[in-house]
Structure 1
Amino acid sequence: MAEQTENLTYRQLADRLGLSLEAARARVRRGRWLKITDNHGTVRVSVPVFALNKTPEQTERVDPDVHPVRTPEHDGMFTPDNTALSTLRDMMGLLQTELNERRQEVADYREENAVLKEQNAQLREQISRIDGERVHPTHTPDVHPVQRPVFTLNVHPEQTRSYGGYARRSWWWPFG
């Protein structure tokens, strides 16, 4: 069975509920009530009857700063259930143990990180030393600058008389 509704404009809804126009619009938006625009541009909202029939006591809100009056039976000390208390203490003990384990893991990771940083620094130092020797060698190679090649492959006999096994070719020679 479909719930009963009344079609009201925002102004009528605000008057019926005792709200401002914007508060009525917000209430329609929160309630996701059906809105219908007629041919003249007037918006009518299908408001459920139970929303209109609420008494002021049901819609009245309590100020959060106001506390209820305490009666003498509430003034006594509250004694918690011992089983619940022991369960909470056991749970706290487990959580404390787990926290200590995590702290130990963090300490181990920090130590490992320090060792790895030291190894990284040593490796970077070795790399920079190797790069420096590659660019500026500290020892001279055992090669004389005018050393002749030890072997010659498929060299024409005329070319063996020249330095390095190959004769200089003229720039105008087409085959060379």
Structure 2
Amino acid sequence: MLLPPDLPGLAPVLEDAAWHAGVRAGPGRELVDQLDAAGFTGLTWPDLATYDFVAGLRTIVWTLAAVILGIGLLTFAIAAIDRALARRREVVALQVIGSSPGILRRAQWLEAALPTVLGCLLAIACVLLAGATYLDLVGDETPAPVPVRQTATLAGIAVACSLAIAGLTVVATNSRIAPDQIRAE
């Protein structure tokens, strides 16, 4: 029951009464901080220490994911640029016989971008499958929700970095033909 505090005759009753207010809210500290600032102090359930612990674990997981993704993409970048430079002799031979630079750029782009983008997306899908399987085996009967926003963010970053690395290999392979490269071929 909700009674306005200025209701006649209510003030003497409120002096001796103990009252509680319950507020349901989403996770986070924002509502608790706002209530504390407004002068409403109280207890939260569950305790915010648990929330802080889970938030810390989430930060650790995202940091590890970023480090692993960074190391994997850096490894691919080094390997792709090395392969592109090693393939330079073949590219010079194709340019000498009249292949257009556009065709060579598209071939290099496709050769570098396609496996990387597909590999990143398949790796993310495998991690989602492994995580869902683990949570289903360990957890209760309720299936774990798929973190769509986080997965889309990770996939977007992986695809963007893969395309950037593929672009670097295209730049590394398409330069002017030097006379000594033609003589060597």
Please give the range of the TM-score, normalised by the shorter of the 2 chains.
under 0.3
Structure index of larger Rg: 1
Higher strand share: 1
Higher helix share: 2
Structure 1 length normalisation: TM-score?
0.26
Structure with greater contact order relative to length (CA < 8 Å, sep ≥ 6): 2
